[in-house]
Chain A
Amino acid sequence: MTTAQLQKQLRHLKPSVAPRAEWLAASRATLIARVASDAATAPKLSTANRFRMFTWGAEALFGSAGSFVMRSGVALATLALAVGLGGGSYVLAAVNGSVPGEALYKVKVAIEDVRLSAARTPQQRVALQVDYASRRLAEVSVLSNQNGGNVPQVAELVGRFESTVARAANESDSSENNDEAASLARLVDDRLGEYVHTLESTQQSGNKELALRVGKAIAAVNRTETKTLEVIAKANPEDPTVATRIDAKIKSTEIALSHLGGAKGGSADKAKENLAAAKARTAAGDYATAITLIREAEDLVLELNIPVVEEEPADDTIEPVPTPEETDVPGKVEGAIDIQPTEPEVQDAPVSLSN
């Protein structure tokens, strides 16, 4: 084998070793939950460190010439705008880490809107939307860990998360080209597992009221999954993974149905019939009909869940969500952009490469 052949083989090895999507999502959710938990209890991160984290992100973004060329258009425009709006790198970092209730959050959302409107293709738009949905969930994690969480504010964020995911899913649904629609649906579908993991972590750590709201968001994500699966199946009727995914959805809907108990009458029976029929259609290779039946069953399960949903407080009991300009937290924003004095360096470096 020549050196060139060996190098070629090594390049081919790269795609053959990829982490499992399930592990990536679970590990990410665990990490974000940990970060959010620490965010709620530890003192404020210095602006210098926020900036450092931002620059690491930029390093990843512009890590190679190829990625620079591909992403420079939108990213550089965004960075330029951010610098213009913020007046400096430290503000950029503070903007990136801001959460609702902080004045800089308005800037963060404005930058997101600009990036979204600058997206030239449906792929770019969907990629941004699924990222923004992740950001909303990260913000949900932070806020829900602050003193038990500001429930109305977190609920508002969860709502924004849902609408962002719905817009991304609609983008794929409205494409007339089956292949493009499937490609967009996959962009959304790839992130749904991560969303559910993060929402479940929030659900476990939040109060009862919040848990109910998050439970609805999880149901919405599951329904989006059905929608994306339908688009993917339409474009790839021979894809064997579609049948596996449909089976999994049937099982998860059956479990959701079983959690409702046995005294639910005709709707539950109808949902069971739909799921049984969906199994038969899947076995026959008629995925489109199977997915339609599952979607109807999911709707019925959602209706049967209404008594639980009704436990949420009426709208008039929820205080209006404060907008950033209405939120008066003395010193909060100032603290976010102050350069805090550096504490003494720790003696021993925690990492060293021992060769």
Chain B
Amino acid sequence: MYDGDPSAFAELYDAYAPKIYRFIYFKVGTQAEAEDLASEVFLKTWEYVKRRERRIKNFRPFVYRLAHNAVIDHYRSRSQQPQTQIDEQLATFPAEIDLAADAVRSSDLEIVRRALLLIKEEYRDIILLRYIEEYSLAEIAEMLDKSNGAIRVTAHRAVEALKEAVTTLEARSTKV
């Protein structure tokens, strides 16, 4: 018997699935892709655990790295770089968003969400982990395998880049 402790793995899934889904969603921008990739991440995690010769010292950084790589592989498999996809989404931005007409929609949030797609991947990761998932700088440093100082500097630059992207999108939306 492979006494692989399914109940413990289910608990891990319960704890991390919403976070991993969200992390991926903000990177790919669609629900269907985020669901497929998040499912894939957990199946790969199990595959990894199953092969006992491989060890995972710390689950959280492991699963986030797996999610990060799953997104990259996803774009590679489609022979499409993330930025290309993002450009396509932004090209439709004025047509899709009619801030004045849709009072119910939280327009500011939508702009921020779309601005996230505009900034560099490295910045986006840090913004997602720091300000949406609310991990500490030390935790993020561990996840991204970087020093605390490097993460602090990059986080500052990421916020500035996001502010600039938000400003750009706000300017575009007011022209519509």
**Nearest CB of A to B74, in Å:** 14
A42 and B4 within 8 A (CB): yes
- Residues on A with beta carbons closer than 8 Å to the beta carbon of B75: none
Stretch at the interface among B87-95, B96-104, B162-170: B162-170
Q: Are A31 and B18 in contact (CB under 8 A)?
A: no
Contacts of B121 in A (CB 8 A): 355
Are A52 and B132 interface neighbours, CB within 8 A? Answer: no
Q: Which residues of B contact A20 (CB under 8 A)?
A: 31, 35
Q: How far is the CA of A57 from the CA of B8 in the complex (A)?
A: 7
Q: Which of A58-73 contact B (CB under 8 A)?
A: 59-61, 63-64
Q: Which of A11, A45, A353 contacts B68 (CB 8 A)?
A: A353
Q: How far is the CA of A12 from the CA of B109 in the complex (A)?
A: 8
Which residue on chain B has the smallest CB distance to residue A134? B10
Cβ distance B108 to chain A, nearest Cβ, rounded Å = 6
Report A34 CB to chain B, min CB distance, Å: 6
Q: For residues 85 through 138 of chain A, which have their beta carbon under 8 Å from a beta carbon of chain B?
A: 93, 96-97, 99, 134-135, 138
Please indicate the chain A residues that have their CB under 8 angstroms from the CB of B58 in the complex: 59
Interface 0/1 of B54-79, CB less than 8 Å to A: 11101110100110110010000000
* Bound complex: CA A49 to CA B51 (Å): 10
A97 and B54 form a contact (CB under 8 A): no
- On whether the beta carbons of B18 and A18 are closer than 8 Å, the reply is yes
Instruction: Check A351/B59 contact, CB under 8 A, given A23-B35, A34-B46, A57-B12.
Output: no
* A interface residues, tally (CB under 8 Å): 70
Bound Cα distance from A350 to B121, whole angstroms: 21
Which stretch in A202-210, A301-309, A340-348 binds the other chain?
A340-348
- Classify chain B: how many residues form its interface, as a range: 35 or more
- Chain B residues with CB below 8 A from A3, complex form: 159, 163
Tell me, rounded to whole Å, the shortest Cβ–Cβ distance linking B98 to chain A.
19
B152 within 8 A of A: no
Our pick among A11, A39, A146 for the contact of B6 (Cβ within 8 Å) is A39
Contact of A35 (CB < 8 Å), options: B4, B26, B55, B159: B4
B15: A residues at CB distance < 8 A: 57, 60-61, 63
C-alpha spacing A23/B21, complex, angstroms: 10
How close is B110's CB to chain A, nearest CB, in angstroms? 9
The CA of A30 and the CA of B133, in the complex, are separated in Å by 26
Q: Does B138 contact A (CB under 8 A)?
A: no
**A7 within 8 Å of B by Cβ?**
yes
B86: chain A residues within 8 A (beta carbon): none
Asked if A6 contacts B159 (CB within 8 A), the reply is yes
In the complex where A27-B42, A343-B53, A346-B54 touch, is A134 in contact with B7 (Cβ < 8 A)?
yes
Q: Pick the contact of A38 from B17, B50, B108, B159 — CB < 8 Å?
A: B50
Please determine whether A351 and B62 come into contact, CB atoms closer than 8 angstroms.
Answer: yes
Q: How far is the CA of A56 from the CA of B55 in the complex (A)?
A: 13
Check B127 against A10 for contact (C-beta < 8 Å).
yes
Smallest CB gap from B121: residue in A = A355
14 contacts between A and B (CB under 8 A): A7-B131, A7-B159, A13-B109, A13-B113, A19-B18, A30-B43, A32-B6, A34-B43, A38-B2, A44-B3, A49-B52, A56-B56, A57-B11, A138-B7
**Which 6 interchain pairs have the tightest Cβ spacing?**
A97-B5, A42-B2, A60-B15, A56-B59, A10-B131, A343-B53
Q: A-side interface residues toward B, CB under 8 Å?
A: 1, 3, 6-7, 9-14, 16-20, 23-24, 27-28, 30-32, 34-36, 38-46, 49-50, 52-54, 56-57, 59-61, 63-64, 93, 96-97, 99, 134-135, 138-139, 141-142, 146, 336, 340, 342-346, 350-355
Q: A6-B166, A346-B54 are in contact. List 7 more A-B contacts (CB 8 A).
A: A3-B159, A12-B109, A27-B17, A28-B13, A45-B2, A45-B49, A59-B60
